[in-house]
A and B are shown apart, each in its own frame.
Chain A
Amino acid sequence: MHARMLPYLLILPVTLFLCVFFLYPFVLVSQQAFTTGGGFTLDNFREVIGYWKFPISLSNTLLLAAIVVPVQLALSLLMATMVSRMEKGRDLILYIWTIPLGISDLAAGIIWLAIFEQSGFLNSMLYGVGAIETPINFLSYQNPAIVFLAIALAEIWRATAIMLVILVAGIGLIPKEYYEAAEVFGASPWQRFRRITLPLLRPSLQTALILRVILAFEVFAVVAALGGTLFPVLMGETYAYQFDLLNSGAAAAMALIILALSIASTLVILRVLRIPKGARI
């Protein structure tokens, strides 16, 4: 066998697997989205976009991403910078900080539900210290801000670590000499962060942001556990079309809309954080 064929042979199984179990279903879903029994049509899209819940679920999804992702970015940058400066115990701290990654999003939602619900920890604590006389129903339609806050908190708690690990790895790749040079040439710690860490971290920032933004558009279980129907999001509506309304065409159209959002945001992130030719480490 030719040695030059070997790499192709080795990647063949996974390529085939992805074609059969990813590309093919994707084509089927697209087909479903663009047909309603007959030929090509945009009816499914018209239906889902025309539904009264669509603008709310779209704006909720975008709002949640717009609040959660920047907070997570700032937090993970801060945490990654701190961890990278530690000499001892660094791995231990990283393990502790990444524990939420090992928990499914539904479980995360349920944990935060246990805190915020009427008989939850927060009410018990407030009651215990005498701050309230009767338990408050935080997660009701009367408190949309608290519902949103609870969902945002649970999302931040759950998924900051995924950005953290990517950024820690990225910071580890920046040679120490750049920081020393910047220090000798007069950069303060903040300037070193802004002028050395951030620009040299662009490849990792791209990966972390793309991953996180896509996950934010797919938010579902945490919202279902904490907000239920109070806080409709795109993924929840997709689920409802497929399993409650048994309208797979509409569900497929919703899925493609979410995909389009993901692709668009990915392109924006790649563009904003692009690295000029020759400017890589």
Chain B
Amino acid sequence: MAEIKIKNVAKRFGSYQALRSIDLTIADQEFMVLLGASGCGKTTLLRIVAGLDAPTEGEVWIGDRRVDHLPPRDRGIAMVFQNYAVFPHLTVFDNIGFGLRMHKLPNEEVARRVERTASLMHIDQLLQRYSGELSGGQRQRVAVARALAMEPDVILMDEPLSNLDALLRLEMRAELKGVLAESKTTAIYVTHDQVEAMSLADRISVMNGGLIVQAATPVEVYRNPAERFVASFIGNPPMNFLPAQNEGEGKWRVAGHSVDGPNAGGDELVFAIRPEDMHPSATGIQATAKVVEPLGPHLLVTCDIEGAMFRAVLDSDMSIRAGEAITLAPQAGRIRWFDPQTSRAVA
């Protein structure tokens, strides 16, 4: 059992507050992705779990042990680094076996585990090479094999795919997912790439300004963002936002069009909808197409609605030219509402 509990963790670097107050529980064998823009604190949080940085406040538990005062080697973790950190002076074999030797495993066991993980990562032909003789993708595989060979309770990954080219990243992503699911370890994976996060995660923790804004399944994060930040960060293109005025009795006026919404008080809310949830219709919101981008399967139309920028993803059979007026209706079940003051979602 390697459930990870992060309790009220904060981290200050001098006067800079990198992490404010993080509470997060990661279930045994769960694949948790920490997602956020650079500077949001995701790597700091990972390093605190690894033991490479100490939290200013709070506790970290792995399994039933409190580990925040333990050195990394006693935490039952292994890590894959962003630049791989494959030791240049050691062969692939010695790199994969490094941690096992440090933990004084007998030679036969080291050899057995190195060979097993190397063949798992398809690098068993490279065991006698040095890292200078490997491609970026092969180094990446060595770094993952080195972590897996430890048979750790927890595997930590810090943007492990960010230095690979696009095609290789796609391939490694699928492979990582398979290998990690098989290894039955708990995983924390840091990335700024939302597609990576979506495709790998059991749950995503979206981070912003040193806080976890939302921790939920990829679909939940996408469909029901807890904050306006999440809605504008996830999705490409991100959610659209328009101001809405209360007409009473659960009706809200959005760009001159009346929409069913929450039966809540207050005069104003923010109406939000994903670009793919807008459809051409006889009645609806009036928009002027500004830029039309045919992307193959669909058409990305950037329009102007009462001075605000608005994107819609429409069927590519539609013929719309820049400058044309179109009427768009939102798909009822997909509308989300945010409080303009707190930016929190309103049910």
Contacts and interface: CB of A to CB of B under 8 A. Distances in A.
A184 B132 contact: no
A123 B79 CA distance: 60
Q: Name the prevailing secondary structure of the A interface residues.
A: helix
B102 A191 contact: yes
Contact of B88 (A185, A187, A191, A280): A280
Interface in B75-105: 77-79, 81-83, 85, 87-90, 98-99, 102-103
A183 B102 CA distance: 10
A251 to B, nearest CB: 44
A184 B98 contact: no
Interface residues of B, number: 28
A184 B87 contact: no
B150 interface: yes
B71 to A, nearest CB: 7
B131 interface: yes
Contacts of A26: none
Interface string B27-66: 0000000000000000000000011100000000000000
B72 interface: yes
A279 B132 contact: yes
B133 A183 contact: no
B130 interface: yes
A130 interface: no
A220 B130 CA distance: 44
Interface string A170-209: 0000010110111111110001000110011010000000
Contacts of A279: 88-90, 130-132
A279 B89 CA distance: 5
B43 to A, nearest CB: 12
Contacts of A178: 85, 87
Contact of B72 (A175, A184, A195, A200): A184
Contact of A183 (B73, B131, B150): B73
B131 A278 contact: yes
Interface in A234-281: 275-281
B50 A276 contact: no
A201 to B, nearest CB: 10
B69 interface: no
Contact of B78 (A180, A185, A277): A185
B133 A184 contact: no
Given A175-B83, A276-B130, A279-B130, A185 B98 contact: yes
Contacts of A182: 87, 98, 102
A185 B150 contact: yes
Contact of A186 (B87, B88, B102, B133): B102
Given A175-B83, A278-B131, A279-B132, A184 B89 contact: no
A265 B241 CA distance: 74
A178 B79 CA distance: 12
Contacts of A195: 98
17 contacts: A177-B85, A178-B87, A181-B79, A181-B85, A183-B52, A183-B71, A184-B73, A184-B77, A185-B99, A186-B72, A186-B73, A186-B102, A187-B73, A276-B130, A277-B133, A279-B88, A279-B130
Given A183-B51, A184-B72, A202-B89, 13 more contacts: A177-B83, A180-B52, A183-B71, A183-B72, A185-B98, A185-B146, A186-B73, A186-B102, A187-B102, A200-B89, A278-B132, A279-B130, A280-B88
Interface of A: 175, 177-178, 180-187, 191, 195-196, 199-200, 202, 275-281
Interface of B: 50-52, 71-73, 77-79, 81-83, 85, 87-90, 98-99, 102-103, 129-133, 146, 150
